[in-house]
């Protein structure tokens, strides 16, 4: 974790060369010199003559080397914390670059499916970050045993306030390794339907068919029932209900429904579309047209709408009625007189009055 020492590179002769160097560096902004000094001094925040650190104001040097607290054998100072922050940023960038290289240069050349590639990339990123963090702590002189107290405090925090975060993180690991859902799957969970676009450490991003992204906590995918429409493959079966009149030719209706489905380019030929008579309703005979498609996942409503409009057009041409619900009204005899009046006469009487 100790930054590279640039003092030997920046050290110049004590005569004219050194004065010229300091004259040139004095033209630089003080923030640049401070940034250089942070990466020059040793890891414990001390400084030595010959580095850019001694060019800072004495008050700034005193503040940067001010001991805050002791962590094992390491004196924690502001410059030590600044170096830790820079190290974490660099480690995060290294992890991100490593994941991108693994995903773009290695896994894309294999036959591993998209969901497993994503799981491998995420797991590799976690390992790289954890390994770099341990190496950084060891190189800075921090005794990892001294972090047991911090681990105990975190355990208490998990038990009280961080329980949901911890459960979501563990559920995310379960999702990555067990893979009940994968990247690109079409799922239904908690009334939310959509495509899995990202599996994070805390939540999973689900993009609905309205192009809305809903972040669902990972624990819901582990603790609740989840419908995965594409767990086995991308083929989805649609069932479209159709009602016809009792006077219609049922065999002709079946053949027309199957012909409409076969002419749709998004309907698969295997398994073939099938129209079946399901029930005899109050005012119609109810058929169900079952079709399969592998391309209508992200626009299922449009796909079903196109089929139903084509069915209505064909039935209209073939004079097949699609009935609407009908009710018969029966009036029982009663001793109460029923007054029937003409609206026009009643209105005229009111006007004359």
Q: Which of 54-58, 59-63, 175-179, 250-254 has the lowest mean pLDDT?
A: 54-58
| pLDDT exceeds cutoff 70 at 346 | no
Name the residue ranges covered by the structural domains of the chain. 1-114+127-133, 166-228, 236-317
User: What pLDDT sits at residue 36?
Assistant: 43
Residue 26 pLDDT more than 60? no
Q: How confident is the model at residue 157 (pLDDT cuts 50, 70, 90)?
A: low
Least confident of 17-21, 58-62, 67-71, 243-247: 17-21
- Residue 295 is predicted with a pLDDT of 83
- How many residues in total does the chain contain? 353
Q: Dihedral of CA 143/144/149/154: which sign?
A: positive
The CATH number corresponding to 166-228 among 3.40.1500.10, 3.40.50.1220, 2.40.128.20, 2.30.30.60 equals 2.30.30.60
Of 42-51, 98-107, 191-200, least confident by mean pLDDT is 42-51
Q: How far apart are CA 199 and CA 193, in angstroms?
A: 16
pTM, two decimals, is 0.55
Query: Which sign does the torsion angle of CA 236, 237, 241, 244 carry?
Result: positive
Chain segment 66-105, per-residue pLDDT in tens: 777 776 677 778 888 888 888 889 989 999 999 888 888 8
The torsion region of residue 132 among left (phi > 0), alpha (psi -120 to 50) and beta comes to alpha
Mean pLDDT of the chain: 76
Q: How is domain 236-317 classified at the architecture level of CATH? A: 2-Layer Sandwich (3.30)
pLDDT tens per residue across span 272-325: 999 999 999 888 899 999 999 988 877 888 899 999 999 999 999 999 988 887
pLDDT at 50: 44
């Amino acid at each position: 974790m100790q930054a590279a020492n640039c003092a030997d590179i920046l050290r110049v002769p004590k005569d004219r060369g050194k004065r010229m160097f300091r004259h040139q560096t004095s033209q630089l902004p003080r923030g640049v010199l401070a940034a250089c000094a942070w990466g020059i001094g040793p890891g414990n925040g001390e400084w030595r003559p010959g580095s850019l650190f001694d060019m800072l104001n004495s008050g700034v040097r005193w503040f940067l080397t001010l001991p805050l607290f002791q962590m094992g054998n390491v004196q924690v100072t502001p410059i030590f914390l600044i170096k830790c922050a820079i190290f974490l940023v660099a480690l995060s960038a290294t992890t991100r670059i490593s994941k991108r290289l693994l995903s773009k240069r290695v896994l894309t050349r294999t036959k591993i499916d998209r969901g497993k590639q994503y799981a491998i990339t995420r797991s590799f990123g976690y390992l790289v970050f954890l390994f770099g963090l341990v190496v950084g702590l060891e190189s800075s002189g921090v005794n990892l045993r001294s972090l047991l107290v911090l681990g105990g405090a975190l355990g208490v925090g998990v038990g009280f306030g961080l329980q949901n975060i911890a459960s979501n993180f563990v559920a995310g690991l379960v999702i990555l390794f067990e893979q009940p859902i994968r990247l690109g799957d079409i799922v239904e969970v908690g009334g939310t339907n959509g495509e899995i676009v990202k599996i994070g450490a805390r939540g999973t991003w689900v993009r609905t068919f309205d192009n809305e992204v809903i972040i669902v906590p990972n624990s819901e995918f582990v603790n609740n029932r989840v419908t995965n429409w594409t767990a086995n493959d991308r083929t989805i079966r649609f069932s479209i209900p159709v009602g016809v009149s009792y006077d219609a030719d049922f065999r002709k209706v079946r053949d027309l429904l199957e012909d409409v489905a076969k002419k749709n380019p998004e309907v698969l030929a295997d398994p073939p579309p099938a129209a079946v008579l399901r029930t005899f309703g109050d005012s119609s005979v109810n058929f169900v047209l079952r079709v399969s498609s592998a391309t209508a996942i992200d626009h299922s409503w449009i796909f079903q709408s196109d089929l139903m409009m084509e069915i209505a057009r064909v039935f209209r041409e073939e004079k097949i009625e699609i009935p609407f619900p009908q009710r018969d009204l029966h009036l029982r005899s009663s001793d109460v007189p029923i007054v029937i009046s003409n609206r026009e006469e009643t209105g005229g009487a009111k006007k004359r009055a």
